[in-house]
A = this chain, B = another copy of it.
Amino acid sequence: MDDYSYMATLGLIDYQNAPPEVRAVYDDIMAVRATDRINNFWKAIANDPATLRRTWESIKEIMRPGALDALTKEMIYVAVSVTNQCGYCIASHTASAKKAGMTPEMFAELMAVVGMANETNRLAAGYQVEIDQAFLPGGAGF
């Protein structure tokens, strides 16, 4: 368990100083993720136990393997974080994706797709391209 406690807007809440409801979430995070480390992200939002609990419960449900496997989900998380220029999130989710099996080759292809998508997103918008009839959504269409 590390001991940063001086940073972030409201400070970071370590396990030792956490109230029971926060400890319960920390325990669940460490159990589900098979780690004995709580990231600064959780320690920061733990200042608002309701947000801590809600965010963890949502992430636990969403990131669990389902129709998509855990690695694919982590790479999507990285794609969003890179698009948003969120430094913390790029660092933490690149680490998570690596832990879930992302190789340097996968990372490189992920970055290439993210870069390209950000480029063509602007070409499509800038040229004011109208949506093709064939792409219009519809219940029957999927």
Contact = CB atoms under 8 A, between A and B. Distances in A.
A76 B51 CA distance: 17
Contacts of A2: 132-134
A9 B111 CA distance: 11
A61 B54 contact: yes
B129 A41 contact: yes
Given A44-B128, A81-B117, 5 more contacts: A10-B142, A55-B119, A66-B105, A90-B128, A111-B122
Contact of A9 (B37, B122, B137): B137
Contacts of A24: none
Nearest to A138: B6
A28 B126 CA distance: 24
The residue in A6, A89, A117, A131 that gathers the most chain B C-beta atoms within 10 A of its C-beta is: A117
